[in-house]
Amino acid sequence: MDWRPGASLDMLARRAQLLARVRAFFADRLVMEVETPILAHAGVTDPHLHNLSTTCRLPAAADPVRLYLQTSPEYAMKRLLAAGSGPIYQIGRAFRDGEAGRRHNPEFTMVEWYRPGYDYQDIVEDVEDLLIWCLGIPYCSRVRYADVFRQHAGVDPLECAIEVLRDVAVRSGLNAGAPLSRDDYLDFLLGEVVAPHLGNERPTFLCDFPASQAALARLLPGDPRCAARFELFIKGLEIANGYVELTDPVEQRRRFGCDNARRAAAGLPEMVPDERLLAALDHGLSACAGVALGFDRLLMAAAGCARIDEVQAFSVTRA
Amino acid sequence: MTTYSTNQFRAGLKLMIDGDPCNVLENEYVKPGKGQAFNRVRLRNLKTGRILERTFKSGDSCEGADVVDNELQYLYADGEFWHFMNPESFEQIVAGPEAMNEAAQWLKGQETCIVTLYNGVPLTVQSPVFVNLQITETDPGVRGDTVTGGTKPAKLETGATVKVPLFIENGEVIKIDTRTGAYVSRVKE
């Protein structure tokens, strides 16, 4: 029986150092560490994320209650922000059903943080400062989503016809099966054609995602075709995702509804929106920006590892 | 025809890609954090031997290829075709030169080969990994020379030519690794 860890002990020591370094970064900037539940009553509506769930017997309930292992601590942390926490961060486990592979493990460590009052540039610079602090790099690059799609895929991701996206995708190795949605073609092209060019010289922020992929981000005031959302890439590997947060409860409710409509169309179960998050937004969440960073991926990038199981003590196949 | 979903793709599964039977070599899960998941699949085209990559939306399915591996006994060659027999049903199957490819040079008769059938027709033939064959033509052996590592060509009873150590004599039976065509050892009669 292979009982040994997948990561070397040297790598685990490096992991511990990097964790300490991240904590020191936030301590230095007076960002408070918080812990929010992994088990919660509501899951995520995003059609591309799948909650693991379990049941829990609670003394006051007749039947066991279904609880969802969180895919990120976003909803709970926003409730803390609405309660007036000020800047907060969390280093915790996130869980995503179905995600396992060279760069994925169903449970992984996420660094997530929120900065009240930060705008788009502020939050990108905050991530850049963290990378400088942790990796000792001089600075990062910034590129716009539409620009790198034009450069590497030869398409305008915001304006071109879906047939053009499909042609380019099929020519780039997508199986020509049933038609996909516009966003699915963009996701394919980002992963297979564009991302390999990102972050090879230095960590690179991919900025201004299309509005259709805004998730919980605000749209850009100057160009509503785009969202105030960015991702960080190092050597083609997606490391972090951040945005200026949506704080409007009406718009949030609408996006939850859209998510569930897309879930239904894809034959996925609908997810009950997190009413506590919506109540917190109703109460009022002041302008803020936030980031979710995959800690295992950051360590992979820092150590030059190609596989996530090289940086985790026991990935799912060994757990 | 059977179809397979991306989560059933495993190394060794045979799929139809662009009308050709292909063997799955690797299936990698790729997914942007907030986006659609895909499976990037590496395959070998079983007709051309070429490696290709194809990416499927996770959950999509693909038609399987009617490709089966059979262990068949090699009987004889008639100058144009190679004849095989299923040792259980005694059914005979005939393979052409494209399917035989490199396997032909290692066969003299009676060997059990893996014959890959596509729609009942041989697509590829794999000879046994190790074969014992007699040398019919080589320079005289250099006695005791087991250390210099030098080699000389030797023609085998099947017509193939391999490199053998200098001490090997004409008429000896030797063991060959057919994957590389390399000499392995002498075979004591």
pLDDT per residue as tens digits for the range A109-155: 999 999 999 999 999 999 999 999 999 999 999 999 999 999 999 99
Site from B27, B28, B57, B63 to mutate, A interface, most A CB atoms within 10 angstroms: B57
DSSP state for residue B108 in the 8-state scheme:
-
Site from B5, B15, B34, B38 to mutate, A interface, most A CB atoms within 10 angstroms: B34
Strand partners, B38: B30, B57
| Partner B contacted by A255 (CB < 8 A) | no
Q: Which long-range contacts (CB under 8 A, 24 or more apart) does A269-274 make?
A: A270/A45, A271/A42, A271/A43, A271/A44, A271/A45, A271/A51, A272/A42, A272/A43, A273/A42, A273/A45, A274/A40, A274/A41, A274/A42, A274/A75
The band of B78, judged by pLDDT with boundaries at 50, 70 and 90, is very high
Residue B146 has what pLDDT? 67
Cα–Cα distances in angstroms (integers) from residue B136 to residues B4, B74, B167, B169, in the given order? 50, 22, 15, 10
pLDDT per residue as tens digits for the range A238-249: 999 999 999 999
Record the pTM.
0.83
Cα–Cα distance for residue pair A44/A46, rounded to 1 Å: 6
Residue B189 has what pLDDT? 64
The band of A45, judged by pLDDT with boundaries at 50, 70 and 90, is very high
Average pLDDT, chain A: 96
8 Å CB contact of A241 and B34: yes
Q: Taking Cα atoms as reference points, which of A26, A4, A103, A34 lies closest to residue A306?
A: A103
Mean pLDDT for the stretch of residues A157-182: 94
| Partner B contacted by A98 (CB < 8 A) | yes
Q: Kindly compute the dihedral angle of the four CA atoms of residues A188, A194, A200, A205, in this order, to the nearest 10 degrees.
A: -90
Residues of A in contact with B54 (CB under 8 A): 173-175
Comparing CB atoms, the residue among B28, B37, B38 nearest residue A102 is: B28
Closest Cα in chain A, distance from residue B52 (Å): 9
Mean pLDDT for the stretch of residues B123-147: 87
Cα–Cα distance for residue pair A298/A286, rounded to 1 Å: 30
pLDDT per residue as tens digits for the range B8-49: 999 989 999 999 999 999 999 999 988 999 999 999 998 888
Residues of A in contact with B36 (CB under 8 A): 48, 180, 183-184, 187-188
Residue A228 has what pLDDT? 96
DSSP, collapsed to helix, strand or coil, labels residue B128 as coil
Mean pLDDT for the stretch of residues B137-163: 85
| Partner B contacted by A267 (CB < 8 A) | no
Residues of B in contact with A188 (CB under 8 A): 36, 38, 55, 57
| Partner A contacted by B40 (CB < 8 A) | yes
Residues of B in contact with A238 (CB under 8 A): 32-33
Tell me whether strands A141-144 and A204-207 are parallel, antiparallel or unpaired: parallel
8 Å CB contact of B38 and A188: yes
Residue B155 has what pLDDT? 95
DSSP characters over A282-315: HH---SEEEEEEEHHHHHHHHHT-S-GGGTSSS-
Q: Is the pLDDT of residue A27 over 70?
A: yes
Cα–Cα distance for residue pair A293/A300, rounded to 1 Å: 13
| Partner A contacted by B49 (CB < 8 A) | no
Residue B34: exposed, middle, or buried by beta-carbon count in 10 A (0-12, 13-18, 19+)?
buried
8 Å CB contact of A213 and B33: no
8 Å CB contact of A100 and B28: no
| Partner B contacted by A102 (CB < 8 A) | yes
The band of A177, judged by pLDDT with boundaries at 50, 70 and 90, is confident
String of b and e for A123-146 (b: at least 16 CB within 10 Å)?
bbebbbebbebbbeeeebeebebb
Residue A245 one-letter amino acid: E
Residue B149 has what pLDDT? 74
DSSP state for residue A211 in the 8-state scheme:
G
Asked if the A9-140+202-310 domain carries CATH number 3.30.930.10, the reply is: yes
Cα–Cα distance for residue pair B11/B24, rounded to 1 Å: 5
Interface of A with B in 112-171 (CB under 8 A): none
Q: Is the pLDDT of residue B154 over 80?
A: yes
Residue B150 has what pLDDT? 84
Residues of B in contact with A102 (CB under 8 A): 28-29
8 Å CB contact of A188 and B55: yes
Q: Taking Cα atoms as reference points, which of A213, A216, A242 lies closest to residue A226?
A: A213
Average pLDDT, chain B: 91
Residues of B in contact with A178 (CB under 8 A): 60
Other beta carbons within 10 Å of A33: 12
Q: Taking Cα atoms as reference points, which of A275, A284, A289 lies closest to residue A75?
A: A275
Annotated domain spans of chain A? 9-140+202-310
Residue A61 has what pLDDT? 83
